[in-house]
Chains A and B, each alone.
Chain A
Amino acid sequence: MNPKQKTILITGNRKGIGRYLSEYYLEKGYNVVGCSRSSSDLSHKNYIHFLCDVKKEKEVKTTIRSIKKLNGGVNILINNAGKASLNHSILTPSETVKDLFETNYLGSFLFSRECSKQMIKSKWGRIINFSTIAVPLDLEGEMAYSCSKSAIEKMSRIMSKELSSYNITINTIGPTPVYTDLIKVVPKDKVEEIINMQSIKRFGTFEDISNVTDFFISNESSFITGQKIYLGGL
């Protein structure tokens, strides 16, 4: 299948990494579908945008059904949508934990489940989930966020086994801090502390991320599944 025949769904793509990946894959000739809670100004003949809150099951199902009717289904899913919140565990409200798990973990699960149903029928699929280097670093102050991302890693590992016989691969990327809105909520000294824990001490770039997503989605990566790649050398 060449890029022109493939549809990539990128969640949470109104800005940041998701926006970059959308433009990057449109440039490469893919059909790109994006979704976010508010509308996008991204305009391209091969681009469709849906309004969808990733934690709402009905909205996710409607989005996936609509993509099937418009584009024949999703071939590649990039579960990019996510949010962060920092706080000491003792000071973390239960609502924050719930919200992070619903957006990060439940959202990724719902899209993975619904897209997998289409991929099972076509006997080919690629799913990429987003974790973070905060998971292996066990960073203080990031308990709720890291736990929600850790759950995504476990989900990826188990689903990769369950879906391997359908030629569906599921892998995870764990970026370092990248200049996006998400990192704005992290205090500057905290970001520096994280970067100093990396082998390569610099911010990640959008290109660092697309390098890994390119690898995971390529036809040649059919033997790569259940893996996670952390950027920056951890």
Chain B
Amino acid sequence: MEKKIKIRLLKLLYEFIDENEINLEKDVVLDENVRLIGTSSVFDSMELVQFIVDVESLLDDEFDIEIELTSEKAMSRRNSPFISINTLSKFIVDES
């Protein structure tokens, strides 16, 4: 399940970057480890908000997973689930 979600989220990430015409730094490798938050993130803060909304919607539509990624639990974790597609996929599987 985690692998399936990871692959789908990665596809969503590609689509999102393309649709929003996000300019990536030259050395960025767009894989499951690319940073989604922090100073080296591929997103600015508004893009991250929009991406989280898209992820929640995708999980609901395609996996029938109802999850709030911005729950107290997610936000209060020492290691944010939004670091990468890898950590996000793991968090989704753990919480659903």
Q: Are B53 and A120 in contact (CB under 8 A)?
A: yes
List the A side residues contacting B56 at CB < 8 Å. 117
Interface size of B in residues (CB-CB distance below 8 Å): 10
List the B side residues contacting A117 at CB < 8 Å. 53, 56-57
Query: For the complex, is A121 an interface residue (Cβ under 8 Å from B)?
Result: yes
Q: Are B53 and A65 in contact (CB under 8 A)?
A: no
Query: For the complex, is B46 an interface residue (Cβ under 8 Å from A)?
Result: yes
Query: For the complex, is B40 an interface residue (Cβ under 8 Å from A)?
Result: no
Query: For the complex, is A46 an interface residue (Cβ under 8 Å from B)?
Result: no
Q: How far is the CA of A120 from the CA of B16 in the complex (A)?
A: 13
List the A side residues contacting B54 at CB < 8 Å. 121
Min Cβ gap A62→B in Å is 9
List the A side residues contacting B66 at CB < 8 Å. 61, 65
Q: How far is the CA of A120 from the CA of B53 in the complex (A)?
A: 8
List the B side residues contacting A65 at CB < 8 Å. 60, 66
List the A side residues contacting B53 at CB < 8 Å. 117, 120-121
Contact of A121 among B46, B57, B68 (CB under 8 A): B57
Chain B positions 36 through 64: 1 when the CB is less than 8 Å from some CB of chain A, otherwise 0 = 00000000001001100110110010000
Min Cβ gap B15→A in Å is 13
List the A side residues contacting B68 at CB < 8 Å. 61
Q: Are B60 and A120 in contact (CB under 8 A)?
A: no
Chain A positions 95 through 123: 1 when the CB is less than 8 Å from some CB of chain B, otherwise 0 = 00000000000000000000001001100
